[in-house]
Chains A and B, each alone.
Chain A
Amino acid sequence: MSLGALFFVVAALGLIAWFVARARAVAFRTGRRERFSALPGHHGAFVALWTMLPPLIFLAIWWFTSPALVTDAVIGTAAAANLPPPGFERAAILSEARNLSRGEAFGAFHDLSELLAPAYAAAQSRYDWIATALAALLAFAGFAFAYARVRPTFAARSQVERIVMVLLLLASLIAILTTVGIVASLVFESARFFSIVPVTDFLFGTHWSPQVIDPRDPGASLGAVPLFWGTFFIGAVIAMAVAIPFGLMSAIYLTQYARPSTRRWMKPVLEVLAGVPTVVYGYFAALTVAPAVRDFAVSIGVSWASSESALAAGLVMGVMIIPFVSSMADDSLAAVPNSMRDGSLAMGATPSETIRKVLVPAALPGIVGGVLLAVSRAIGETMIVVMAASGVAQLTLNPFASTTTVTKQIVDLLTGEAEFDSAKTLAAFALGLTLFVVTLLLNIFALIVVKRYREAYD
């Protein structure tokens, strides 16, 4: 049986187990008047959980591991002796054979995959049978174990609740698992990269051209400083030059000046701006903003302006960040005690003087924290720079020149036609690790700033 069908069978078995156990519990209750430790439904749930959980856990593990087991079995057959060495071609032949064996493909590009298809089908059905048998065995073992415990004195409810608590704990451990997965995969692949390229070359080298890597000295063309500069320039300078004034002024206007009716429809507009997918911003940047920026540059006399300038990507990214800065500033301004504002107004200051000289300075730590979070979001932003920035890495202060960013390079490196283990693809993981560490530090730092500031007025 296929895995999907097995999941349904297990669920059906669980339902049957629930009815059987409940019926038994109802049976021993009828005609007796003493106190019972659990309701019939609890007994049912207890047996059903024991029937379903073991096979489901097994199937979940099986689902991840069996494709590799099947492939290993196929490689072990005689027909697989002619396979090319591990690499792209081998993977292509194997996946073609797999599709043929499932009847999903009709013709084969490689002759060998036609030979391997029957082996695939045989291995697949053999492993499917093993999975079916093991799942059935586990379900019945679990059922027998639990069913033997359905007795009047058995505290089924506390047992069920204990299982539920374990499930809750497991669910919350997924978050740790994800974090560990991210760190482990980034560190592992980066370690392989740094065994080829010295860390110092990568972090301090000023020449980035992954298209031509000298195999004797790969570090010479994998210096990431131009990328770091481009990321900082686009994300932290140009984007923030747009986002901070606009975001801050919108927050001030919305919280201090706007009528409630205006605020009611202005806030959703800003939220929509935050909800537009980044690929749409990217398309807009590439199609509309970038040519406009180039034309503007040409009209002020910069004839060599790039149509993939840092300015276009940065401007659109800034617009994307406005709602984020605005809502952070909104929160910080709202946290300033009203007595400070009232005091200033009572002294005769105009509202704008109160805002500029009292509210904003008082809210400054919160605003700074918000801006740091915004920067961390901007430098991790991918689609806008992939679509609007260029791939040419250069160290420049000119906003009309082309610059590239870390995220853009990660995408370029990993979507090209290269084998997976080259210095080129591993470099993407090293860049990813750098990005992860920098955004993490920014976030932690920003949260500390915000937290300390909140405590000051609480």
Chain B
Amino acid sequence: MTDRAPTDWRTDAMRRRIVRRYGAERRFRMFGLGAIILSAGFLAFLIVTMVMQGAAGFTETRVSLPIDFAAAELTVTPEQLRGDRGNLALAGAGLEGVVDGAAGAAFAQQGGAELLSDGAWLRVRDTLKANPGMLRGRTAIDVPVATDIDVAYKGDGTPEAEQVVAALGDRLSRGLNRDFFGNADATDPTRVGIWGALKGSLLTMFVTLILAFPIGVLSALYLEEYAPKNRWTDLIEVSINNLAAVPSIIFGLLGLAVFLGTFGLPRSAPIVGGLTLALMTMPVIVIAGRNAIKAVPPSIRDAALGIGASPVQVVFHHVLPLALPGILTGTIIGMARALGETAPLLMIGMRAFIAAPPEGLTDPATVLPVQIFLWSDEVARGFVEKTSAAIIVLLVFLLAMNGVAIYLRNRFETRW
């Protein structure tokens, strides 16, 4: 036994030491909190930036354009405007020229027809089709303005454009840009829309889902329930785990070499995008599915086997229904990841300029993230807000999908 006096905690040295140690403790804790807050702050900053920039992308600036249709003498009767033929009739009668002329007369000081968006005459056309009576008179129609005026009216323009905005005064107004939800890509930022890209995304996701979900679920069932423990099973497991970690661009190279090169499928088509993304999503579904299947207690299987069900009946009548919420959660998360994926789709040519929404699985198409990438490359100022607006749409979709996944998890997941 050593003879040692107990530590005297009241000496100055010991007190200083305690203070120092507690100070270190506080600092360490603050560090941790700071790391969390900074990460969350970055997310908040990113979202706020996108919303601030993107909100303007959903609106357009309009100018009130006086047109005298009676004097313009369009060779169109109100009857001809009904139905789809009305578009052709008005285009054939030279409506675009009439609109440009009216702009030239009304805004001679501000650049005439240059003031209007390329799509302004389309707005006049649609208004005329809705109110054929206008053909006989003089009227004023709100039409979208060119992109530099649009940007200036929203407060970020060049000095010249600012002067034009000031000169026009209250003839300018702001409204919801409906074309943004109906159009596809265009060269004029005031005419672009995300519907084309959104439709491409939906078609691509459809292909991905109908391929990756059944294959993923079936292989998860096989690996978890039936697979004998041998070298082949190990090989399957290793490849699935590796596929989940392969960089996405490698899948793009695979799609380019195999689907486009060997099979000769069409470039830029949703079917190829869907196939490529399905290969990428499948491992995610398999891994999530296996975890969900593993969580089903063995007593369920034993009970079913005990009353005479065959192994296939045990799995398809009992295990699969119980594991389905977990599998669906994993599937939605995998699909959300596929929806945000860009790089592999660039490889298979989905970066082309596509001015019309795709009509089928083999039509040239683009998808939302690639559209964002393409617009971010544009130099014209008007594309900045459109890019951010498209990002908002994409994030809303992803948040909705993740929300559904979280809801499913909380609502249906059973804890055994």
Judge whether B412 is part of the interface by a CB distance below 8 angstroms: no
Given contacts A380-B248, A410-B249, contact A257 B236 (CB under 8 A): no
Residue ID in chain A nearest B359 by CB atoms: A104
Is B253 within 8 A of A253, CB to CB? no
**B219 at the A interface (CB under 8 A):** yes
Question: Is the CB of A245 closer than 8 A to any CB of chain B?
Answer: yes
Check if A278 sits within 8 Å of B257, measured CB to CB: no
Interface residues of B in 24-47 (CB under 8 A from A): 24-25, 28-29, 31-36, 38-40, 42-43, 46
Determine the residue in chain A with the shortest Cβ distance to B280: A178
A283 contacts B391, C-beta separation under 8 Å: yes
Please determine whether A176 and B50 come into contact, CB atoms closer than 8 angstroms. no
Bound-state CA distance A443–B264 (Å) is: 33
CB proximity to A under 8 Å, residues B205-261: 214-215, 218-219, 221-223, 226-227, 235-236, 239-243, 245-251, 253-254, 256-258, 261
Contact with B along A229-266 (1 / 0, CB 8 A): 00000000000000001110110111011100000001
Is B347 a contact of A414 with CB atoms below 8 Å?
yes
Q: Which residue of B34, B46, B283, B351 is within 8 Å of A280 (Cβ)?
A: B46
Contact with A415, one of B40, B283, B346 (Cβ below 8 angstroms): B346
Give the residue among A169, A253, A268 with the most B Cβ atoms within 10 A: A253
Enumerate chain B residues within 8 angstroms of A179, measured Cβ to Cβ: 239, 242-243
Decide: A250 and B351 in contact? CB cutoff 8 A.
Answer: no
Q: Which residue of B lies closest to A176 (CB)?
A: B239
Q: A186 to B253, alpha carbons, bound, how many Å?
A: 8
Closest Cβ–Cβ distance, residue A238 to chain B (whole Å) = 16
By the criterion CB–CB under 8 Å, are A380 and B247 in contact? Answer: yes
- Report the Cα distance A160→B316, complex, angstroms: 13
CB < 8 Å neighbour of B247 from A174, A271, A407: A407
A355: B residues at CB distance < 8 A: 28
Give the CA-CA distance A118 to B346 in the complex, in Å: 33
Interface range on chain A (Cβ under 8 Å from partner): 35 or more
B205 to chain A, nearest CB (A): 14
B372 contacts A351, C-beta separation under 8 Å: no
- Which residues, 373 to 431 on A, are CB-close (under 8 Å) to B? 373, 376-377, 379-383, 386-387, 407, 410-411, 414-415, 420, 428-429
Contact A249 B286 (CB under 8 A): no
Q: Decide: B21 and A250 in contact? CB cutoff 8 A.
A: no
Known: A68-B264, A171-B214, A272-B43. A185 touches B257 (CB 8 A): yes
Interface centre among B218, B266, B406 (most CB of A within 10 A): B218
Q: Which residues of A contact B394 (CB under 8 A)?
A: 277, 280
The answer to the question of B279 belonging to the interface, with a C-beta cut-off of 8 Å to chain A, is yes
* Cα distance A432–B247 in the bound complex, in angstroms: 10
Q: Which residue of A lies closest to B351 (CB)?
A: A415
User: Is B404 in contact with chain A by the CB < 8 A criterion?
Assistant: no
Q: Is B33 a contact partner of A411 (Cβ separation < 8 A)?
A: no
Min CB distance, B15 to chain A, in Å? 15
Closest residue to A356 on the B side, CB-wise?
B28
**B-facing residues in A265-279 (Cβ within 8 Å):** 266, 268-273, 275-279
Say yes or no: is B204 at the interface (Cβ < 8 Å to chain A). Answer: no
Q: Are A174 and B282 in contact (CB-based, < 8 A)? A: yes
* B: number of interface residues (CB 8 Å): 88
Instruction: Select which of A174, A185, A280, A414 is within 8 A of B395 by beta carbon.
Output: A280
Would you call B245 and A443 a contact (CB within 8 A)? yes
Distance, CA A355 to CA B222, complexed state (A): 42
A407 contact from B226, B249, B263, B283, Cβ within 8 A:
B249
Contacts of A172 in B (CB 8 A): 218-219, 222-223, 227, 236
Q: Which residue of B lies closest to A172 (CB)?
A: B219
The answer, among B36, B215, B264, B337, for a CB contact under 8 Å with A174, is B215
A133 near B: Cβ within 8 Å? no
In the complex, B96 has a CB within 8 A of chain A = no
Q: How far is the CB of B317 from chain A (nearest CB, A)?
A: 12
Contact with A along B50-87 (1 / 0, CB 8 A): 10000000000000000000000000000000000000
Q: Is A122 close to B, CB under 8 A?
A: no
Residue among A168, A278, A280, A352 with the highest chain B CB neighbour number at 10 A = A280
Say yes or no for B107: interface residue by CB 8 A criterion: no
B387 located at the interface, meaning its Cβ lies under 8 Å from any Cβ of chain A in the complex: yes
Which among B34, B219, B246 is the interface contact of A168 at CB below 8 angstroms?
B219
Chain A contacts of B132 at CB under 8 A? none
Find chain B residues with CB under 8 A from A377 CB.
Answer: 245, 247
Instruction: Tell whether, in the assembled complex, residue B218 and residue A182 are in contact, meaning their CB atoms are under 8 Å apart.
Output: no
Contacts of B110 in A (CB 8 A): none
**Docked CA distance A280–B115 (Å):** 32
CB distance from B119 to the nearest CB of A (A): 22
* Cα of A171 to Cα of B256 in the assembled complex, Å: 23
Instruction: Report if A124 contacts B (CB, 8 A).
Output: no
Contact with A along B298-340 (1 / 0, CB 8 A): 0000000000001110001000000000000000000011011
Query: B346 contacts which chain A residues (CB < 8 A)?
Result: 386, 411, 414-415
Inter-chain contact A252/B246, CB cutoff 8 Å: no
Are A250 and B32 closer than 8 Å at their CB atoms? Answer: yes
- Answer yes or no: B192 CB below 8 A from chain A CBs: no
- Are B257 and A189 interface neighbours, CB within 8 A? yes
User: In the complex the two chains form, is A252's CB within 8 Å of B343's CB?
Assistant: no
**Contact status B279-A178, CB under 8 Å:** yes
Report chain B residues within 8 Å CB of A109. none
User: What are the residues of chain B within 8 A of A269 when measuring CB–CB?
Assistant: 39-40, 43
Q: Is the CB of B343 within 8 A of A382?
A: yes
Contact with B along A162-195 (1 / 0, CB 8 A): 0011011101111110110110011011000000
Chain A positions 34-72 with a Cβ under 8 Å from a chain B Cβ = 64-65, 67-68, 71
Shortest Cβ gap from B139 to chain A (Å):
34
Q: Which residues of chain A are near B250, meaning CB under 8 Å?
A: 182, 186, 380, 432, 435-436
Contacting residues, chain A, for B32 (C-beta < 8 A): 249-250, 252-253, 256-257
A178 touching B264, Cβ below 8 Å: no
The minimal Cβ–Cβ distance linking B75 to chain A, given in whole angstroms, is 25
B247–A178 CB distance below 8 A = no
* Given A167-B218, A176-B235, A254-B36, A411 and B257 contact (CB-CB distance below 8 Å): no
Q: Given A175-B240, A355-B28, does the pair A277, B36 have CB atoms closer than 8 Å?
A: no
- How far is B340's CA from A94's CA once the two chains are assembled, in angstroms? 33
User: Ordered nearest first, which 8 A-B pairs have the shortest CB separation?
Assistant: A380-B247, A277-B340, A253-B32, A172-B219, A171-B218, A185-B257, A249-B35, A382-B343
Given A168-B221, A249-B34, list of 5 further CB < 8 A pairs?
Answer: A275-B337, A275-B402, A381-B247, A382-B247, A411-B347
Q: Can you pick out 17 interface pairs between chain A and chain B where the beta carbons lie within 8 Å of each other?
A: A67-B263, A95-B266, A168-B222, A178-B282, A185-B253, A249-B32, A254-B36, A257-B29, A273-B40, A283-B373, A350-B25, A352-B25, A379-B247, A382-B342, A436-B246, A439-B247, A447-B241
- A residues lining the B interface (CB < 8 Å): 64-65, 67-68, 71, 95, 104, 157-158, 160-161, 164-165, 167-169, 171-176, 178-179, 181-182, 185-186, 188-189, 245-247, 249-250, 252-254, 256-258, 266, 268-273, 275-284, 286-288, 319, 322-323, 350-353, 355-356, 373, 376-377, 379-383, 386-387, 407, 410-411, 414-415, 420, 428-429, 432, 435-436, 439-440, 443, 447
